[in-house]
Structure 1
Amino acid sequence: MMILPLIISSLIAGLAQLDAKQSGRMGSIALLYYFATTTIAVITGIILVLTIHPGDPAIKQNLGMETGGKNVSTVDTFLDLIRNMFPDNIVRATFGQVQTKYIKVRPKVVLANASYLAEVQAGLHDLEKPIVEYSDGMNVLGIITFCIAVGIVLSQLGHEGVRVVEFFATMDKVIMRLVMYIMHYSPIGIMCLIMGKILEIADLVDTAKMLALYMFTVLCGLAIHALITLPLIYFVLTKKNPFLFMRGMLDAWITA
């Protein structure tokens, strides 16, 4: 509920109050940084999952077995990334993102001889046809791209866009205040959600073991990304102590 307004208001307000050249350069750097860190995070997650194998042990036995349907290629993944970066409908991007899937299609054959047609169709195999579908989940990349573009244009308008900039700046303060209020009462809601899910579990011991292994994998990934990957990138680019910078970002990290 708060993530989408927070992203929109903070990005537009922040970029609109910068110089046009500076904000354009910052937007390009932000996109490049997002691509780089996302790629590294995905690689880290894949390595950890293949190493630790969290989840149901029965699933491991089916790894590598064909389940029908063609695997999505690297090209499809890259094209999905481009499609999500430039969504055709910004409203839909708030709750859906593009994903390529493959469906089986029977090739059509038109012949005059019915018996020969039956023989031909019997020897045909279904073809894999790629289709683009929308899956549930906010398209963060598309929203960020849109907000960066709006922020840059507002900074170029000068005095004509002051009212709009003030609106988003005020909205950013309002959302941050709401986030602080929610954080004070969030432990109660989180406790109720967890207790409700625990009561629905049939085999608590096995589920707890799988959940503990999953949590360990996630925490390892977050620790590697936050304490090794990001500080290393900061040190390589700035030649400064990354942990001093991270200490100044502590409030933002806690909010996130």
Structure 2
Amino acid sequence: MTESPKHNQSLTYWIAGAIVAAIAVALTAPNIAVHFEIGGELFLRALKMIVVPLVFTSVLCGVLGLGDVRQLGRPGATAVGYYLCTTVLAVVIGLIVVNVIRPGVGTVDPAVLEKFAESAELPNGQTEAPGMGVVLENLALMLITDNLFAAAADTQLLPIIVFTIAIGALMTTMMDRVRSIATLVTEANDLLLRFVMALMKLAPIGIFCLVAARFGKAQADGRFFEEISQIGWYFAAVVIGLAIHGFVILPTIYYLVTKKNPYHYMAAMSQALLTAFSTASSSATLPVTLECAESAGVSKRSTEFVIPLGATINMDGTALYEAAAAIFIAQAIG
């Protein structure tokens, strides 16, 4: 079911070329580029359309593949522990980089500062930040939903994953009676992955439309270079932090664990990386990540359980960005 390495490499080149071409069109003909928005939106919706059913079937297949619910503890705990560690590392890197570069020190455009400050305001008229107890309580409530269909409609993947793991765990204890359901779920998962592979053939066109429209809109409004120049040092701090985390820290962890070249694996995952860059959504990229990981030689048993969970709770880039943003605002207001 997986594509050949030669086909994957060719598609990666097409996607990379589409991104470069889209940026060029957006900067030279922004009024034309904005009209590609419909194509990009259709591509993005097609990816998001299958996220919920794919998460359900892939996680369920992953749990069933373990064979025994008692074996779920170790890989599950290992995955969550790894996600927590990399997120903490991302926050630390963000704090170090932003304190070294100090992008907020000096003159900052009041409009830009106000935009960042608004995102830091406390909701519902709160005068002080909530305590750790409230934070932990809210995190616990995020695990369980009172309406599974509403969670699916809002693409709230965490409660869906928790529900699926629970159902899968129960199924492993009664496999003889639910074998037909397990077969149905496995075949549905294969069907959805085939849909992803078919959709990826249109990826260069969809990504071109998506990037061209977004960059074109910023250029048409005269904000593209202006906004970059206004917060250029902050932008640089975040990009440097992400580069350190993505090209140094994570590859080092990969090498220490597997003793393999991490950049070969990164090249195999290039389709997912480029799709994530262009869509800015780990959930939308999830179908592509599953397909790429399997093509890269990762066992299906691992990908079906670990990747959907990681797309939901492993937000290293967001953690780094928000840590840097908090210090940037503090520096800007003295």
Q: TM-score, normalised by structure 2?
A: 0.50
Which residue among 51, 54, 63 is the counterpart of 1:15?
63
* Greater CA drift, 85-94 or 37-46: 37-46
* Greater CA drift, 198-207 or 173-182: 198-207
Aligned pairs for 1:230-245 within 5 A: 230-231=250-251, 233=253, 238=257, 240-241=258-259, 243=261
Q: Does 1:188 align with 2:188?
A: no
Q: Whose RCO is larger (CA < 8 A, sep 6+)? A: 2
Q: Does 1:69 align with 2:86?
A: no
Aligned pairs for 1:26-65 within 5 A: 26-45=75-94, 57-58=109-110, 59-60=112-113
**Residue 51 of structure 2: aligned partner:** 3
**Residue 150 of structure 2: aligned partner:** 92
Aligned partners of 1:24 and 1:152 also within 8 Å: no
Deviation at 1:149, TM superposition (A): 1.6
Aligned pairs for 1:1-256 within 5 A: 1-20=49-68, 21-45=70-94, 57-58=109-110, 59-60=112-113, 69-70=126-127, 71-96=129-154, 138-201=155-218, 202-203=221-222, 204-207=224-227, 209=229, 219-231=239-251, 233=253, 238=257, 240-241=258-259, 243=261, 247=265, 250-251=268-269, 254=272, 255-256=288-289
Amino acid aligned to 2:181 = V
Q: Structure 2 regions of 5+ residues with no counterpart?
A: 1-48, 273-287, 290-334
Amino acid aligned to 1:190 = I
* 1:248/1:229 CA distance change after superposition, 3 Å: closer
Q: TM-score, normalised by structure 1?
A: 0.63
Instruction: Give 1 or 2: higher strand fraction.
Output: 1
Amino acid aligned to 2:58 = S
Deviation at 1:12, TM superposition (A): 0.4
Aligned partners of 1:15 and 1:148 also within 8 Å: yes
Q: What do you get for the CA RMSD once the two structures are aligned?
A: 3.9
Amino acid aligned to 2:225 = V
Amino-acid identity (%): 25
CA distance in 2, matches of 1:52, 1:248: 31
Amino acid aligned to 1:75 = G
CA distance in 1, matches of 2:215, 2:92: 32
CA distance in 1, matches of 2:98, 2:152: 29
Any idea what SS the aligned residue of 1:160 has? Answer: coil
CA distance in 2, matches of 1:48, 1:235: 24
Aligned partners of 1:85 and 1:141 also within 8 Å: yes
Q: Structure 1 regions of 5+ residues with no counterpart?
A: 97-137
Aligned partners of 1:87 and 1:93 also within 8 Å: yes
Number of equivalences: 212
* Greater CA drift, 30-39 or 149-158: 30-39
Aligned partners of 2:255 and 2:262 also within 8 Å: no
* 1:53/1:248 CA distance change after superposition, 3 Å: closer
* 1:183/1:84 CA distance change after superposition, 3 Å: same
* 1:170/1:226 CA distance change after superposition, 3 Å: farther
Amino acid aligned to 2:179 = V
* 1:76/1:233 CA distance change after superposition, 3 Å: farther
CA distance in 2, matches of 1:157, 1:245: 42
Any idea what SS the aligned residue of 2:147 has? Answer: coil
* 1:53/1:226 CA distance change after superposition, 3 Å: same
* 1:76/1:85 CA distance change after superposition, 3 Å: same
* 1:73/1:250 CA distance change after superposition, 3 Å: farther
CA distance in 2, matches of 1:63, 1:16: 45
